[in-house]
Structure 1
Amino acid sequence: MDLISSLVDGSHVMDALIGSSQKKKKAKISIATRWRSIVSISIMNGARPSEPADAGASAGAEPTQPMSPALEDISFSDILADQWKTPDTSNFQDQKASDGSQVFYYAGDSEKTTPVDAATGFMKKSVSSEGEKQMLLEGKTGDSPVSADDEDEDSPYDIVRCSVSNKDNPELYSLTFRVWVLGIIFTGILSFVNQFFFYRQNQLSLGGSVVQLLAFPAGYVMSRTLPKRTFTTFGWKWTMNPGPFNIKEHVLISIFATASSGSPYAIDVVTIKKIWYKSDLGFVASLLFILTSQIMGYSFAGLTRQFLVYPAAMIWPATLISVTLFRTFHEIQNFGSRMTRTKMFWMCFTISFFWYFIPNFVAPALSYIAIMCYMAPNNVIVHQLSDAYNGLGMLNFTLDWSTISSNMGSPIGYPWAMACNLFAGFVIVMWIITPIGYYTNTWNTGNLPIYTAHLFKTNGSRYDIHQIMTPDQHLDEAKYGEYGPVRMTFQFAMSYGIGFAAIITLLVYIGLHYGPEIYQRVRQSRSMDEDIHMKLMRKYDEVPHWWYIVLFVITFTTSIVVCEVYHMMPWYWVIISTVVPLVFTIPIGIIQAISNQQPGLNVITEFIIGYGMPGNPIANVTFKVYGYITMTQALNLVSDLKLGHYMKIPPRQMFIVQLAGTLLSSFIELAVAYWLMNTVKNICTPEGYPFTCISANTFYSASVLWGLIGPGKLFGPSSPYHPVLYLFFVGAFLPVPVWYLQRRYPRSFWQHVNVPVAISIAGAMPPMPAASIVNWFIGCFVFNFLIHRYRNTWWQRYAFSLSAGLDSGVAISGIIQFGIFAKAKMPQWWGADANHCPLAADGGFLNRPLH
């Protein structure tokens, strides 16, 4: 999933954004306003910004209606409170605007007099310059910090000019009391929810979009209700409410909450040691292990700023989506309709909250409706083809939103073209290659299930690793020879091979499509003068390098101590593991900053430690955490630093909130993990449903295959799985014919084919249930094709609010149900049985009656 996230989260964002890169800069503010408002829509449509987002519009034509209101039509009704729909003119001071129209100023806030049209409730444009307008929109007044000579200066790249403002007000307050309160609250919520669902069958995850959506009305309410009194603490003056909630506070809250809100990779190590290897690392050691792997990445992020953040050529396209969303909240609000985005969120939240009681507790059968299994309840092959978890998911549908969004994320967040690429890769591998290989008994896998991450003996029984381990959890060669080699399903073996191919495919794809551009950008980053954004950021104190060096020294030293004291990995392998991110962070960061695609290093790190320390599973996964995840975390934080750079956030405040968010979220996530592992009976087993830990199961299997057994035995010449290594070479070839066809037929459907995206989905399965991908694609078809094409205005306004509401409702409902029904069970009835394809998990098709 790490590779998929990096590919699809912004795959072809460059293609979507860079369409106008050869066009001249638009001078008129009305056109620039439209660009900012439609950037995210163009991305989701897979269209270039130079093309209309409406499906029926001709190329180059202007949209028949504006994608968003002009700046002067900013509505109060999208804030939060209903009373803003029809302003009560008794609360406003009557004045005359420069154009002679009637204008009212809200008298409730003496420090901010925002002009409002009494008839429409819209802010009235009554400012004399763009700088004043920008500060009015951000809730401040005063002289523009940008000199007259800099008014026309902007980024040298059109795609940045479309989204990022070339103005800043350094007097805007940012790291406020509201940021700390809301940042801590949202960090706690996201960390708890995401870690709680990490162990469940459907791994729902709340992301930054939920924080962006909810922090806006929350900040507004705090600005209207908190006292403005100034307090003095140890000689330091501060206030709960410095004034109107502004965009910089909004950005800091989001970065605070999402710095490390997803389940840390290191928790997988903690989980498998405690559950499978029966060796509890302990809470304190686990916390130090998690913090060192997370914060060490942060130190790498800070030390690479001059290469990956400061140069204008390092664009980081995915951050432009966040910039556009933040500016949409604070600059462009309402079309004037009655239903606001906030109301849509809470309506969807309520419906999702109560409905989830049905598929989660009352009728779990609704989570996966396997039509074929109902028609043929005794047919093994039918069960294998249709089952959600141990089958291929054919004709298996759902009425459970968590099933749709738990593994791939909300389908609304994926461009339709990318969803088609993903599903095409899924169909080719899962519905064509896998059945052919499995039912021809390739590698003698016919006596195993068709789809699972579990490991087996040659006779089809489960593989017990404790039979081949020494007391100190190393491989016992004599016992291994006696017990027999490990076997995995055809599809599981192919997933590793496709993972090999995906890495090479991505590198070749980037070289073919972005090679010249990367070379040009790297040269420009060394010779190009500072752009306007770097000049504006010079007004803020930068974080000294020694801060990051101190962080690195502390985390590196602590990681050596933890690994040595708790026998996780020898100290010299800790040093080697840090060399991997040291070498790869900058080159891979340059690739991601330009193409928005990040080649994964997990296979490389597994190969290095697998050959270097065979027979040691814990050392294998520990090396992978420090070697692979440190770089991934570093690039995630670099992306946040670039977002702060674009939004003109003081760097030292970015440092504080990122570090605080990481510390707080790591503690909460580990506490939730230990709470569940100590209280949920049979956790991480089928009997512990829904806490089956599908990701941890796959991680455990990888630790056995790559660590305990080792790649030498697993893929050596005598192994039946040796041929999957040839997929490295296949991966180098795959993008070439597609690239040629794209150049040969520039107006054909080949322009929408993305080979790395298509094959990456198969490399991530297992652990994802196959039926989850099917239903996710159906959801993407409904929202991002049908509704996006035929109800585009509705989609633009409500799609992400709907997605955030459904995700949040399921998450909160699931936690409450766990607290209420933890020891309760529904009476036995047809709908209470979540598995109507039981034959798929019982074994292979060989030597079994096929009714």
Structure 2
Amino acid sequence: MLISRFRYDCFFRDAPMVVSGLVIQLLSYPIGKFMARVIPTTDYSIFGKKLTLNPGPFNVKEHVLITIMANCGAGTAYAVDIIVIQRVFYKQDFGFFANLLLILTTQLVGYGMAGILRRYLVYPAAMIWPSNLATVALFNTLHRREELAPGQWTRQKFFAACAIGSFLYYWIPAYIFPAITALTLLCYIQPSNVVLSQLTGSQGLGMGVLSLDWNTITAFLGSPLITPWWAQVNIMLGFILFAWIMVPTAYYLDIWNAKTYPILSSKLFTTEGYYYDTLSILTPAKTLDEPMYKAYGPLRITTFFAISYGIGFAGLTAILTHTFLYHRKQIWAQWKEARGASQDVHYKLMQAYREVPEWWYLILFCITVTLSIITCEVWDYGLPWWCVLLAVGISALFSLPIGLIQAVTNQQPGLNILTEFIIGYILPGRPIANVTFKTYGYISMSHAMSFLGDLKLGQYMKIPPRTMFMTQLIGTFIAGFVNLITANWLLSTRPNICTPEGGHFTCLSANVFYSASVIWGVIAPERMFGSTSIYHPLMYFFLAGLFIPVPFFLVSRRYPGTILDQIHIPVLLTSTGMMPPARPFQYANWLVIGFCFQYCVKRYYNNWYQRFNYVLSAALDSGVAVSAQYLPLN
């Protein structure tokens, strides 16, 4: 509850805080040890069964279950963005119960899908889920004793030293000297040079910007100490191609009148470069007012924002082609073998426990889909029942290929653009219907990935599956309530929240979400990307993405063992999907650190890497997150 509440305080701020289950994983250890010592071991008889509040020493499996429950509540419910833009930008509020149903259903639909996909994305040994490696390393650090050579540090000692250092250091960028969050070194050469500022500024393309803030670097991509080096190479290629080649080329060639607008922004503009007043083109029912729109003029976005959509289009179709070319045999084999034939040693050891039958997940899936339809029909979200089914169908279709990517690369391609695009054509001029469809279509998949990652963690740590099932459900329900209560409290008590006048509470995520609701919902794709729009060429990126993986696949099969085997087109194209709100300098610094550890340290100091790399990642994350609890939020 506490981590979920704090996460939402940070969610509304201009510098999002990464608060993961590592914080609870760290803090719960001494608390669990203390409670095991002081709670009486007295047995109680309830309905003929003996129970005790203290069954014995605090063990690693109890610790894992606490962390799993924290993981279910550590993130922010995407549906809260709908609630925020309704209240702040569209001046709507459907009430607490409707909002709660929206949050819970969008999260739990994905849980039902996760259970069906276990045989493909959890049981096989190849599905490693890299994000779990730091978590497992921390569990081992806290619960296992090591055999050491004289003078050698234990993992516990190393973790403690790094976590304390991270805790103390974070006060400098967060409170004492925020300038080191983004040192624009090259801008100092000629501060008045506009082009230099656009290319090398932290608010521009971030070339040469140095960040000394771990939270800023990891805010959107997670820890660079976890993502495999081959995946980071693909992210680097995609980032350089997009942010440092395509965007400046298009901007300085003045494509789409690019110079009328900032080089980097997620804001919406008129053709003259002024901010777009969305409310002036809406009816009281929050749908598009055609005469007012024609009088006000078309909407424009920055070149950066436009190209990011094009890259996203290509990434979506590339996922389908890549999955067919590279994984069709694996998927078919898993389908035939089903669960019992998995060769993963962790899965074989899990046979000692009773598995959760698939029909449990199917029932949960059917119930949550039904509640989703009821929510959208009873309250005026503008989304008919068949659109809810379509959204869930899209999510189900893409969950397997995206899961195959995330389980080995630690990167998750999003479905936000695809879902916005489809519903924008089906129901143009309806922004709330658009974002609701997007949430059911995208976040159902995203939560399925989160649940699958936790199931893999449970497999690594040998947690009984049925206990995992209940832990995840309870954690999700608690987090849903806390998310909504915290969001309502902040929206009611913070003046000018989510606006430029809101101080630190500018809501970067909600502002991007709102801009997308206007582009795809109010204006709709036909006006934004249709044949009469200046942005129409971006539609050809769909076709390009469909074919780009093919030559790489053919060449890698003709010449195996070359560097082309490491090219992963979906990761290359979708890895920049966090920009905006992420900024290029965050990607650049993330990649530099990744190169240092995942390439240099792993190659030249492999013993240290195997022993301490994931422990260091967990320590840095934990130190920052705990330090943030003591920093003033204003």
**Where in structure 2 are the equivalents of 1:790-805 lying within 5 Å?**
790-805=604-619
**Where in structure 2 are the equivalents of 1:557-706 lying within 5 Å?**
557-572=370-385, 573-581=387-395, 585=399, 600-645=414-459, 647-706=461-520
Distance, in Å, in 1 between the alignment partners of 2:87 and 2:392 is: 26
* Residue from 340, 344, 361 that aligns with 2:175: 361
CA 215–334 in structure 1, closer or farther in 2 if over 3 Å, else same: farther
Distance, in Å, in 2 between the alignment partners of 1:315 and 1:793 is: 23
Residue 263 of structure 1 is matched in structure 2 by: 76
CA 346–586 in structure 1, closer or farther in 2 if over 3 Å, else same: closer
Q: 1:436 Cα deviation (Å)?
A: 0.8
The answer to whether 1:439 aligns with 2:252 is: yes
The answer to whether 1:513 aligns with 2:326 is: yes
Matched letter for residue 437 of structure 2:
F
Residue 88 of structure 2 is matched in structure 1 by: 275
The answer to whether 1:816 aligns with 2:630 is: yes
The answer to whether 1:316 aligns with 2:88 is: no
Distance, in Å, in 2 between the alignment partners of 1:589 and 1:415 is: 16
**Where in structure 2 are the equivalents of 1:381-392 lying within 5 Å?**
381-389=195-203, 391-392=204-205
**Where in structure 2 are the equivalents of 1:68-83 lying within 5 Å?**
none
- Please identify, of 188-197 and 226-235, the stretch whose mean Cα deviation from structure 2 is larger: 226-235
User: Would you say the 8 A contact 2:402–2:412 is kept in 1?
Assistant: yes
The answer to whether 1:460 aligns with 2:263 is: no
Higher gyration radius (CA) = 1
Residue 192 of structure 1 is matched in structure 2 by: 5
- Please identify, of 379-388 and 482-491, the stretch whose mean Cα deviation from structure 2 is larger: 379-388
**Where in structure 2 are the equivalents of 1:302-451 lying within 5 Å?**
302=115, 304=116, 308=120, 316-318=127-129, 321=133, 325=137, 328-329=140-141, 333=146, 335=148, 339-389=153-203, 391-451=204-264
Matched letter for residue 366 of structure 1:
I
Residue 482 of structure 1 is matched in structure 2 by: 295
- Ranges in structure 2 where 5+ consecutive residues have no aligned partner: none
Residue 788 of structure 1 is matched in structure 2 by: 602
Matched letter for residue 574 of structure 2:
S
Name the SS of the counterpart of 2:50 in structure 1. Answer: strand
Distance, in Å, in 1 between the alignment partners of 2:518 and 2:27 is: 42
The answer to whether 1:774 aligns with 2:585 is: no
User: Would you say the 8 A contact 1:316–1:639 is kept in 2?
Assistant: no
* Residue from 537, 547, 562 that aligns with 1:733: 547
Matched letter for residue 317 of structure 1:
I
Q: 1:692 Cα deviation (Å)?
A: 2.5
Same amino acid, percent of matched pairs? 44
**Where in structure 2 are the equivalents of 1:78-97 lying within 5 Å?**
none
Aligned residues: 630
CA 230–516 in structure 1, closer or farther in 2 if over 3 Å, else same: same
CA 280–290 in structure 1, closer or farther in 2 if over 3 Å, else same: same
- Please identify, of 621-630 and 632-641, the stretch whose mean Cα deviation from structure 2 is larger: 632-641
- CA offsets 1:305-334 (integer angstroms, 9 cap, x no match): 685579x65863327847964884556745
Matched letter for residue 694 of structure 1:
L
The answer to whether 1:242 aligns with 2:242 is: no
Distance, in Å, in 2 between the alignment partners of 1:339 and 1:531 is: 32
Name the SS of the counterpart of 2:51 in structure 1. Answer: strand
- Ranges in structure 1 where 5+ consecutive residues have no aligned partner: 1-187, 823-851
User: Would you say the 8 A contact 1:404–1:779 is kept in 2?
Assistant: no
Distance, in Å, in 1 between the alignment partners of 2:152 and 2:423 is: 59
Q: 1:710 Cα deviation (Å)?
A: 0.7
Q: 1:221 Cα deviation (Å)?
A: 4.9
Name the SS of the counterpart of 2:630 in structure 1. Answer: helix
Distance, in Å, in 2 between the alignment partners of 1:749 and 1:666 is: 45
CA 741–209 in structure 1, closer or farther in 2 if over 3 Å, else same: farther
Name the SS of the counterpart of 1:413 in structure 2. Answer: coil
Q: 1:712 Cα deviation (Å)?
A: 1.0
Q: 1:727 Cα deviation (Å)?
A: 0.9
- CA offsets 1:462-502 (integer angstroms, 9 cap, x no match): 00101100011100011000000000111111111100111
- CA offsets 1:704-756 (integer angstroms, 9 cap, x no match): 11111111111100001100111112212322333344345444433433332
User: Would you say the 8 A contact 2:24–2:67 is kept in 1?
Assistant: yes
Query: Relative contact order, CA 8 A, sep 6+: which one is greater?
Result: 2
Residue 570 of structure 2 is matched in structure 1 by: 756
- CA offsets 1:186-225 (integer angstroms, 9 cap, x no match): xx34323432222223322133445555555654554455
CA 593–476 in structure 1, closer or farther in 2 if over 3 Å, else same: same
Distance, in Å, in 2 between the alignment partners of 1:417 and 1:595 is: 8
TM-score by length of 1: 0.68
User: Would you say the 8 A contact 1:251–1:326 is kept in 2?
Assistant: no
* Residue from 754, 762, 765 that aligns with 2:579: 765
Name the SS of the counterpart of 2:338 in structure 1. Answer: helix
Q: 1:335 Cα deviation (Å)?
A: 3.3
Distance, in Å, in 2 between the alignment partners of 1:774 and 1:583 is: 33
Name the SS of the counterpart of 1:816 in structure 2. Answer: coil
Matched letter for residue 292 of structure 1:
T
Name the SS of the counterpart of 1:318 in structure 2. Answer: coil
CA 348–686 in structure 1, closer or farther in 2 if over 3 Å, else same: farther
Distance, in Å, in 1 between the alignment partners of 2:156 and 2:95 is: 43
Residue 503 of structure 1 is matched in structure 2 by: 316
Matched letter for residue 379 of structure 1:
N
Q: 1:687 Cα deviation (Å)?
A: 3.6
- Please identify, of 461-470 and 392-401, the stretch whose mean Cα deviation from structure 2 is larger: 392-401
User: Would you say the 8 A contact 1:307–1:586 is kept in 2?
Assistant: no
- Please identify, of 731-740 and 206-215, the stretch whose mean Cα deviation from structure 2 is larger: 206-215
Distance, in Å, in 1 between the alignment partners of 2:332 and 2:6 is: 42
User: Would you say the 8 A contact 1:266–1:293 is kept in 2?
Assistant: yes
CA 638–803 in structure 1, closer or farther in 2 if over 3 Å, else same: closer
Residue 37 of structure 1 is matched in structure 2 by: none
- CA offsets 1:70-124 (integer angstroms, 9 cap, x no match): xxxxxxxxxxxxxxxxxxxxxxxxxxxxxxxxxxxxxxxxxxxxxxxxxxxxxxx
Q: 1:574 Cα deviation (Å)?
A: 2.8
Q: 1:568 Cα deviation (Å)?
A: 1.0
User: Would you say the 8 A contact 1:505–1:734 is kept in 2?
Assistant: yes
Distance, in Å, in 1 between the alignment partners of 2:27 and 2:498 is: 33
CA 241–527 in structure 1, closer or farther in 2 if over 3 Å, else same: closer
User: Would you say the 8 A contact 2:458–2:468 is kept in 1?
Assistant: yes
Residue 112 of structure 2 is matched in structure 1 by: 299
Matched letter for residue 305 of structure 2:
F
Report which of the two has the higher share of helix: 2
Matched letter for residue 288 of structure 2:
L
Distance, in Å, in 2 between the alignment partners of 1:403 and 1:678 is: 28
Distance, in Å, in 2 between the alignment partners of 1:740 and 1:582 is: 29
Name the SS of the counterpart of 1:446 in structure 2. Answer: helix
Distance, in Å, in 2 between the alignment partners of 1:260 and 1:517 is: 33
User: Would you say the 8 A contact 2:146–2:154 is kept in 1?
Assistant: no
